[in-house]
């Protein structure tokens, strides 16, 4: 994580935090002094340290983050977080203490790392800060609930299409050709997780979507036809 840290001056950090409207001036002053801004390029894979007892709280200032959690049974669990959402680096079984949380940048990403001691003190001295964090965590839960509904709606091909459409609208990038490219981190394995199916089924469904023209015929990219996406 250290190699990806954005080296900013105090003024630059203050300017970035000034755009986070969820925090008041006093909170920004504390977070500017004690927090750390982290920036990652689109598609970047990075690790965040896990501490189950004194976790760092990460606030998404820009972009979106795909988190990969390795559960005790060895299976992977994915979740997506967008701007103004917070998450603690405290997931995983107890034996992962001191491990890392695997993360992927969906678009250019800026995170604010808030040390546990700072988070705890602000919650104890500023009720508004505690409420801000609770509201952010609630937004994150609502987002995961929406994705769960998509993953259970209809037959498997419909679920896969719904997941692709969702990420196309929320995180897609308009191409010079007019198409909409899905995030590079949206691999068959990730799509399969959200659609509750297998990577093999995802590959077969995507091939069919290319055949009918919903996705452009590109081997190494998932790109929607702009005209098709507008109709969905």
146 and 78 in one domain?
A: yes
192 and 105 in one domain?
A: no
Contacting residues for 161 by C-beta, under 8 A, at least 6 apart: 205, 209, 214
| pLDDT score, position 94 | 44
Q: Is 176 exposed, middle or buried (0-12, 13-18, 19+ CB in 10 A)?
A: exposed
113 and 21 in one domain?
A: yes
74 and 10 in one domain?
A: yes
Helix (H, G, I), strand (E, B) or coil at 21: coil
Q: Is 195 exposed, middle or buried (0-12, 13-18, 19+ CB in 10 A)?
A: buried
The total of structural domains in the chain comes to 2
180 and 127 in one domain?
A: no
Q: Is 27 exposed, middle or buried (0-12, 13-18, 19+ CB in 10 A)?
A: middle
150, 172, 202 — which closes off a domain? 150
140 and 202 in one domain?
A: no
Q: Which of 159, 191, 174 is nearest to 225 (CA)?
A: 174
68 and 127 in one domain?
A: yes
20 and 116 in one domain?
A: yes
167 and 187 in one domain?
A: yes
Token pair for 65: 């983050």
- Whether the pTM exceeds 0.85: the reply is no
Structural contact between residues 116 and 55, judged by C-beta atoms closer than 8 angstroms: yes
CATH number of the domain to which 54 belongs = 2.60.120.10
139 and 81 in one domain?
A: yes
Q: Which of 141, 150, 142 is nearest to 191 (CA)?
A: 150
Q: How far apart are CA 230 and CA 69, in angstroms?
A: 33
221 and 141 in one domain?
A: no
Q: How many helices (H) and strands (E) does the chain have?
A: 8, 9
pLDDT tens for each residue of the chain, 232 residues long: 444 544 456 677 778 888 888 999 999 999 999 999 999 999 899 998 887 778 899 999 999 999 998 777 777 889 999 999 998 886 544 434 456 788 999 989 999 999 999 999 999 998 899 999 999 989 988 888 888 888 888 899 999 998 998 888 888 888 887 788 898 899 999 999 999 999 999 999 999 998 888 888 877 788 887 676 666 5
CATH number of the domain to which 196 belongs = 1.10.10.10
Q: How far apart are CA 172 and CA 86, in angstroms?
A: 22
Angle among Cα 26, 29, 32 to the nearest 5 degrees reads 145
In terms of residue numbers, what domain contains 132? 2-150
166 and 110 in one domain?
A: no
123, 150, 177 — which closes off a domain? 150
150, 173, 201 — which closes off a domain? 150
Pairing of strands 100-114, 57-70: antiparallel
| pLDDT score, position 95 | 39
| pLDDT score, position 96 | 47
């Amino acid at each position: 994580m250290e190699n990806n840290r954005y080296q900013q001056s105090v003024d630059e950090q203050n300017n970035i935090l000034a755009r986070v409207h969820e925090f008041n001036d006093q909170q920004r002053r504390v977070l500017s002094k004690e927090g750390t801004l982290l920036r990652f390029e689109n598609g970047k894979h990075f690790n965040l340290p896990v501490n189950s007892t004194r976790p760092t709280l990460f606030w998404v200032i820009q972009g979106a983050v795909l988190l990969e959690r390795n559960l005790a049974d060895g299976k992977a669990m994915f979740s997506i977080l967008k701007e103004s959402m917070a998450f603690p680096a405290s997931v995983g079984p107890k034996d992962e203490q001191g491990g890392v949380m695997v993360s992927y940048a969906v678009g250019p990403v800026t995170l604010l790392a808030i040390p546990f001691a700072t988070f705890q003190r602000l919650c104890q001295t500023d009720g508004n800060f505690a409420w801000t964090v609770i509201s952010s965590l609630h937004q994150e839960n609502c987002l995961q609930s929406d994705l769960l509904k998509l993953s259970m709606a209809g037959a498997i091909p419909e679920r896969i299409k719904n997941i692709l459409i969702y990420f196309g609208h929320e995180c897609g990038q308009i191409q010079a050709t007019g198409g909409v490219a899905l995030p590079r981190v949206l691999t068959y394995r990730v799509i399969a997780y959200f659609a509750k199916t297998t990577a093999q089924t995802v590959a077969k469904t995507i091939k069919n979507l290319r055949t009918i023209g919903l996705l452009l015929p590109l081997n190494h990219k998932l790109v929607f036809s702009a005209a098709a996406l507008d109709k969905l």
